[in-house]
Structure 1
Amino acid sequence: MERRYMHYSSSQKILLVGEGDFSFATCLGKEFGSAANMVATSLDSEATLKAKYSDDVLFNLSDLKRRGCILLHEVDVHTMRYHPGLINKLFDRIVFNFPHAGFSDSEFSHSQIELHKNLVKGYFRSAHQMLSNCGEIHVTHKTTWPFNEWNIVELAENVGLFLVEEAFFSILFYPGYQNKRGDGNRSHFNFRVGNSSTFKFAKKLN
Structure 2
Amino acid sequence: MNAIRNQKLVRMFLENAKKMVKEDGEIHISHKSCGFFLAWDLETLASNYGLSLIKEVKFRLNDYPGYSTKFGYGGDKNFDCQPSKTYKFGLKKKEEN
Query: What is the TM-score normalised by the length of structure 1?
Result: 0.43
Other-structure match for 2:44: 154
| 1:113–1:149 contact (8 Å) kept in structure 2 | no
In the alignment, does 2:86 pair up with 1:195? no
| Matched pairs, number | 94
| 1:124–1:156 contact (8 Å) kept in structure 2 | yes
| Structure 1 counterpart of 2:78, one-letter code | N
| Structure 1 counterpart of 2:4, one-letter code | E
> How do 1:22-101 and structure 2 match up within 5 A?
none
| 1:163–1:200 contact (8 Å) kept in structure 2 | yes
| Structure 2 counterpart of 1:163, one-letter code | L
Q: Over alpha carbons, which structure has the higher Rg? A: 1
Q: After superposition, give the CA deviation of every residue in 1:107-156 in whole Å (9 maximum; x if it has no partner).
A: xxxx4322222111111111001111211011000011111111111000
CA distance in structure 1 between the partners assigned to 2:86 and 2:4 by the alignment: 21
Which has the larger helix fraction?
2
Q: Which runs of 5+ in 1 are unaligned?
A: 1-110
Q: Which runs of 5+ in 2 are unaligned?
A: none
CA distance in structure 1 between the partners assigned to 2:64 and 2:6 by the alignment: 25
| Structure 1 counterpart of 2:80, one-letter code | R
Other-structure match for 1:116: 6
CA distance in structure 2 between the partners assigned to 1:120 and 1:175 by the alignment: 23
| 1:134–1:202 contact (8 Å) kept in structure 2 | yes
Other-structure match for 2:24: 134
| 1:161–1:203 contact (8 Å) kept in structure 2 | yes
| CA displacement at 1:190 relative to structure 2 | 1.1
| CA displacement at 1:194 relative to structure 2 | 1.4
| CA displacement at 1:166 relative to structure 2 | 0.3
| 1:163–1:201 contact (8 Å) kept in structure 2 | yes
| Larger relative contact order, structure 1 or 2 (CA cutoff 8 Å, min sep 6) | 2
| Structure 2 counterpart of 1:138, one-letter code | H
Report the identity percentage: 34
Other-structure match for 1:166: 56
